[in-house]
Amino acid sequence: MLRLDPDTGKQKWYGSDGAKSVLSAIISILIGMAVGTLIIVFVGLTKEGISLKGMWEGIRLVFLGVFSTGRDGGELTFGFNPVNMGNMLFRATPLIMTGLSVAVAFKTGLFNIGAPGQYLMGTMGTLTVGLTLGNSGCPVFVAWIAAFLAGVILGGLWGAIPGIFKAFLNINEVITCIMTNWIAANLVTWWFDAHDIFKNSAEGGKVGYIIPLKNVDVVTPKMGMDVLFPGSQANGGFWIACIIAIGMYVMMTKTTFGYELTACGSNRHAAKYAGINDKKNIILSMVIAGALSAAGASLYYLAGNTEFFWSTYLSLPAEGFNGIPVALLAANNPIAVVFSGVFMSMLNIAGTQLKSLTAYNEYIADIIIAIIVYLSAFSMFIKQLLNKRDKKKGGNK
Amino acid sequence: MTSEYVIEMNHIRKEFPGIVANDDITLQLKKGEIHALLGENGAGKSTLMSVLFGLYQPEAGTIKKDGKEVKINNPNDATALGIGMVHQHFKLIEVFTVLDNIILGAETTGKMGFLKKKEAREKVLALSEKYGLKVDVDAKVEDITVGMQQRVEILKMLYRDNDILIFDEPTAVLTPQEIDELMEIMRGFAKEGKSILFITHKLNEIMAVSDRVTVLRKGKYIGTVNTKDTNKQELSNMMVGRPVQLEIKKDEPNPKDVVLKVEGLTIPSKIHKNNAVKGISFDVRQGEIVCIAGIDGNGQTELVYGLTGLEKADAGTVTLCGQDISHAGIRKRSEAGMSHIPEDRHKHGLVLSYTLEQNMVLQKYKEPRFQNHGFIKFDEVRKYAEKLIEDYDVRSGQGPITVARSMSGGNQQKAIIARELDRDEPLIIAVQPTRGLDVGAIEHIHGQLVSERDKGKAILLVSLELDEVMGLSDRILVMYEGEIVGELNPKETNVEELGLYMSGAKRQGKEAESC
């Protein structure tokens, strides 16, 4: 129920649906961080060699990891750390894209658990086209666009498969998504297995990796990131992800296309009644979701210095699955996905800082992420609790 | 302490943000009586019953059972007190069978916790037999008709041996004969000493079956009267708060050109292997209301699906305004000149999570008026929605930005009718346009349909309500088992004859059918 202002009769901003989504996300995050803190204390108490001071340092790093600037005279120092900040944005880029992928599908009533597979297909398309064109001597600018588009198109087509099954045979997209994930993992492994030209054999000790795109100079421009965050891996990919997020927001809320997609997602029967082609929209929605996930992979590998371990058939990329908590934390709002994506990658940076500066390892951060993943599924539930509280208040007036 | 009343609800007050749904309402139910609760949509009937059933907690007031004050915190408490309810919107699990739905929550189990379905089945069959509530106990709920779902709801309550029975608009989907039977059942219950609360807006039923009537209007208690001391006109005036026109006023029809021509239309059934619509032919002209009458489940739904394109036809042609639309998609048909007021307003009529204004442009969002290069013109949508809300008197909490789900059923229907009539198409297909609506709203909608007819629209009405069929239509086509078994003139026929055609006892020859 909506909370109305007694004077104006209008909805108060903090009673709005959006504000509640933000609040429930913050509650999930705080609980996650609190549990992380407890774990640091428990580990500290049970493990020899970690003092009370060490625990305190661990806690501070969990919360302020990105602002850590190392140690000075044995004490942790905090401040603006351009490398950490830049790397945070860099690692956030693929998470934002897979988050968008899951969020857009959610809005249209589909659960896209196929982001890892789409991400892998994007990786394959981008690396293959990027390396081929990079070696052929065509202009870098053209090669970059071709590589990016190749990833996006391949991901979109891959996303279309569950969409087609859902639209025409009414087969649940979750099942087909899981199957296409593993098919993608094997397909990508086979593809790179069969083409030695992509394998990075030049550098010793790097067994099983694909040649990074920086070797052929097909690299995303920095777009000012090197000035803002010198020494970090950050590049223009983050800005591209932000622009895509805004584009998705506009598409979903301002256009007839978004209107159709959401109508199909909310009530397929009513959409059909109104003459909207529900089958087409279900497929298109999955194509967009697939393209977004794949774009995440493309932007990540077009950074240049990232390397892809080609024999991936035994595991799926975490970036794909992490799109789900990113979308849930953001309550499927494309703009909020940018922030939740950045937040998730901030925890990641905190993990690396923990490892390098204290006796703790980076898995603490993974535990916190895992807890937030759990709680983000509860964020709908928390929102309901908030609504219930409102109802009671509204009723007791 | 004994009391004359088995249930007393004293000075109940229930608020929702922005509205007072129940304001100091008192309802006293005697043992063994049939007590009708009458009121328009949004009068607070359903809220009051939800309070009694434990779904809502009142802000003020007390509930007494046999003179003792009780607290009903949830439906389980209500069930423990012997209160059973048939909800207006069915609370059934679609993928369960009828039997599973009936026993759900009241399962009898053996020692090991296994379900004793056989006994349950016998009990259900016995009840179904005894009260003439025909159901297919093994069918899945999603596959059976709305009418049968209603019967399942009634059986659910019977199965639980409740002695205070709440019927929330139970007759909305029943045929005249079934309604009569239900009335008999209710009288039987009352004789057995059970007490019945009967929520309705149908004055005929109140006059026929109830002992006393309590009238609510806009959340307020208007009064309780003995049925035998009152009449329909007085009740409807109490309910609406102004004198109401009960008869439909309309002039002679003036049919002109044929708008819709249907020839040999055959549509397969989704549930059964046979055809739901078997090669039927008819036409609808400008300026006339043609009504498809029939008992629920005789192919009317499928016929409408076939006409509107929701379902594919096996054979036959549909011609609209001279254009063959037999194989056209839904949007094509709609653009060729077809408005459709759907049977199920929640399934087809509205996107419930959309706002009212978004629903108002459900077909029109692509028109240049509402979009510019794919971007929706929100100002135009808002203006249009506000105009429709004004013109068709759609009431909602927040105007155009009200979420459709939060609106009352009557206003949801008004919104759909506003949207469909305003599209100004030559053919209007109205399927049970007044289902579940109150007298005031029905009067309004009937008036609108008649005025559309007088403007030269062709109207195909599908209705299960005999009053509506007789009062509104200019021609009646009776459907029985997928065929048109008779074409009747409402002026020359009567309800009894119509009933015979509807039940298949009588049918006209082939030559009469084609005229």
Query: What is the pLDDT at residue A10?
Result: 52
Closest-CA distance of chain B to residue A16, Å? 13
Question: Which residues are CB-neighbours of A143 under 8 A, at least 6 positions away?
Answer: A129, A130, A133, A134, A216, A218
B221 DSSP β-pair partners: B216
User: Nearest CB to A275: which of B18, B351, B363?
Assistant: B363
Place of tokens 């569950």: A162
Per residue, what are the HEC states of B229-240? Answer: HCCHHHHHHHHH
B362 touches chain A (CB under 8 A): yes
Instruction: Give the pLDDT confidence score for residue B141 in this predicted structure.
Output: 87
Q: What's the rounded Cα separation, in Å, for the pair B471 and B477?
A: 14
Contact A275 B330 (CB under 8 A): yes
CB-based contact A205:A120 (threshold 8 Å): no
Q: Which residue has the higher pLDDT, B244 or A264?
A: A264
Cβ separation of B376 and A270 shorter than 8 Å?
Answer: no
Of A273, A277, A397, the CB nearest to B15: A397
A269 neighbourhood in chain B, CB within 8 Å: 347-348
Q: What percent of chain A has pLDDT over 90?
A: 39
The pLDDT, as a whole number, for residue B173 is: 61
Is B379 part of the contact surface with chain A (CB cutoff 8 Å)?
A: no
Question: Three-state DSSP class for A156?
Answer: helix
Contact B16 A395 (CB under 8 A): yes
> For A273-296, what is the mean pLDDT?
94
Position B35 scores a pLDDT of 93
Task: Tally helices (H) and strands (E) across chain B.
Answer: 17, 22
Closest-CA distance of chain A to residue B376, Å:
5
Instruction: State residue B353's pLDDT score.
Output: 87
Instruction: Give the model's confidence band at B505: pLDDT under 50 very low, under 70 low, under 90 confident, else very high.
Output: confident
On whether any CB of chain A is under 8 Å from the CB of B423, the answer is no
Q: Flag the least confident range among B50-59, B118-127, B172-181, B361-370.
A: B172-181
Q: Considering chain A, tell me which residue range(s) the CATH 1.10.3470 domain(s) occupy.
A: 86-346
Partners of residue B301 in chain A, C-beta under 8 Å: none
Search chain B and give the residue with CA nearest A3: B17
CA dist B413 and B408 (Å) reads 9
- Residues in B closer than 8 angstroms to A256, CB to CB, are 365-366, 371, 374-376
**Whether A266 and B354 lie within 8 Å, measured CB to CB:** yes
Mean pLDDT calculated for residue range A357-369: 80
Residue B363, chain A, CB below 8 Å: the answer is yes
Residue of B nearest to A270 (CA): B348
Residue B12 has pLDDT above 60, yes or no: yes
Q: CB–CB of A252/A261 below 8 Å?
A: yes
**Digit-coded pLDDT (tens) for B214-262:** 998 888 899 899 999 988 888 888 888 877 766 777 788 888 888 999 9
Chain B residues with beta carbon closer than 8 angstroms to that of A273: 308, 310, 330, 340, 342, 348-349, 362
Please choose, from the candidates A329, A315, A249, A326, the residue with its C-alpha nearest in 3D space to the C-alpha of residue A293. Answer: A326
Higher pLDDT, B328 or B174: B328
The pLDDT value recorded for residue A3 is 43
- The amino acid that residue B55 corresponds to is L
Which residue's entry shows tokens 């041996």?
Answer: B161
Q: How far is B97 from chain A (nearest CA, A)?
A: 21
Please identify which residue in the block is written with the tokens 């929706």: B376
**What pLDDT was estimated at residue B91?**
82
Give CA–CA dist B381/B386, Å, rounded. 8
**What tokens appear for A143 in the block?**
């090669």
In this structure, the dihedral spanned by the alpha carbons of residues A259, A260, A261 and A262, taken in order and rounded to 10 degrees, is 50
For A256, nearest residue in chain B (alpha carbons): B374
Nearest to A81 by CA among A73, A70, A71: A70
A105/A101 Cα distance (integer angstroms): 6
Question: Which of A341, A360, A350, A375 shows the shortest CA–CA distance to A101?
Answer: A341
Mutation site, A170, A256, A261, A391, interface B, largest B CB count within 10 A = A256
Q: Which tokens go with B18?
A: 């922005």
Most confident option among A183-187, A310-314, B299-303: A183-187
Report the gap between the CA of B95 and the closest CA in chain A (Å): 16
Report which listed range, A154-168, B153-167, B283-297, is most confident. A154-168
Residue numbers in A near B59 (CB within 8 A):
395-396
Q: Nearest CA of chain B to the CA of A295: how many Å?
A: 24
Residue B365 Cα to chain centre, angstroms: 28
The answer to whether the beta carbons of residues A323 and A115 sit under 8 Å apart is: yes
pLDDT greater than 50 at residue B13: yes
**Contacts of residue A260 in chain B, CB cutoff 8 Å?**
365
Tokens 């590589």 identify what position?
A: A147
| Pick among A2, A266, A273, A277 to test the B interface (most B CBs inside 10 A) | A273
DSSP, residue by residue, A192-261: HHH-GGGB--SSTT-TTBBPPGGGGT-----TTHHHHSTTS---THHHHHHHHHHHHHHHHHHBHHHHHH
Rounded Cα distance, A337 and A244, in Å: 11
SS3 B372: strand
| Residues A259, A266 contacting (CB under 8 angstroms) | no
Q: How far apart are CA B349 and CA B351, in angstroms?
A: 7
Q: Which of A107, A160, A109, A141 is nearest to A327 (CA)?
A: A107
- Distance, in angstroms, between B28 CA and closest chain A CA? 25
Kindly state the average pLDDT of the residues A375-382: 71
Give the residue numbers in A contacting B (CB under 8 Å), as ranges: 1-4, 254-257, 259-260, 262-263, 266-267, 269-277, 391, 394-397
Interchain pair B362, A3: CB under 8 A: no
- Please answer whether residues B259 and B285 qualify as being in contact, where contact means their C-beta atoms are separated by less than 8 angstroms: yes
B375 closest CB neighbour out of A255, A263, A397: A255
Q: How far is B278 from B507, CA to CA, in rounded Å?
A: 15
Subunit contact A394:B15, Cβ cutoff 8 A = yes
Residue B229 identity (one-letter amino acid)? D
pLDDT at res. A270: 92
Confidence of residue B106 (pLDDT cuts 50, 70, 90): confident
**What is the number of CB-based contacts under 8 A between chain A and chain B?**
84
pLDDT at residue A8 is higher than 60: no
Q: Do B308 and A273 touch (CB under 8 A)?
A: yes
Q: Mean pLDDT of all residues in chain B?
A: 85
Region A34-43: mean pLDDT is: 85
Split at pLDDT 50, 70, 90, the class of A397 is very low
SS3 assignment, position A144:
helix
Domains and CATH numbers, chain B: 5-240 (3.40.50.300), 245-337+426-515 (3.40.50.300), 348-424 (no CATH)
Report yes or no: B101 and B93 within 8 Å, Cβ to Cβ: yes
Q: What is the pLDDT of residue A147?
A: 94
| Residue B342 forms contact with A (CB below 8 Å) | yes
Q: Please tell me the CATH code under which domain A86-346 is placed.
A: 1.10.3470
Whether pLDDT at A224 is above 90: no
CB distance B371–A256 less than 8 Å?
yes
Q: Which two tokens stand for residue A111?
A: 């659960």
Q: Taking each helix axis from N to C terminus, what angle separates A278-301 and A115-136, rounded to the nearest 10 degrees?
A: 50
Other Cβ atoms closer than 10 A to A231: 12
Which chain B residues have a beta carbon less than 8 Å from that of A274?
330-331, 334, 362-363
Smallest CA–CA distance, residue B374 to chain A, in Å, is 5
Burial class of residue A81 (count of CB atoms within 10 Å of its CB; 0-12, 13-18, 19+) = buried
Q: Is B365 on the interface with A (CB under 8 A)?
A: yes
Residues of A with CB below 8 A from B337's CB?
A: none
